[in-house]
Structure 1
């Protein structure tokens, strides 16, 4: 039972990381610049869209910035571990939301058939 729980936890974290990475790559393709935690303030619709992208692509942003800071600035390994833990927890929450949403949608579709 414990092995299944560990597998499920890792699966949910991976779902969160992959979805954050896909969304971050889509943002970069759309805007021709990498996604970051900076939010456009020129209009409110752009700000809402940027906040939504930051919420769902947060683990990707954290890990990209962490790995770049380690390579370029030579940040200590403990800093990388702490940032990775934060990104993993955020990814778990995001993955749990996505997996739960997928299960609810499939259950509602199968009940209608």
Structure 2
């Protein structure tokens, strides 16, 4: 039986907190290469880092939702989706029956086709 590995890429590892949604694409490619060489079955999750946390703070999402900050949920979600697209892009030619999972309220899971 093949072991499934669950790997979380911390947002601070794959983004640069000095800018808003500053994705470290070089590090993502490096990590994707490392993963491709070592993990046969993988569930990959990631944090938000600088893609989402600034928006969540700006709109006070952590304080609860009200009429004023509901638009912030959309801005926060859009920023995290940009990071998710970069993670998927870095892995797109190296995924073997992997799962890409977005973990947030109303999260979704989808199985990606093998691209290897």
TM class, shorter-length: 0.3 to 0.5
TM-score, normalised with respect to structure 1: 0.38
TM-score, normalised with respect to structure 2: 0.37
Q: Using CA pairs under 8 Å that are at least 6 residues apart, name the structure with larger relative contact order, 1 or 2.
A: 1
Higher helix share: 1
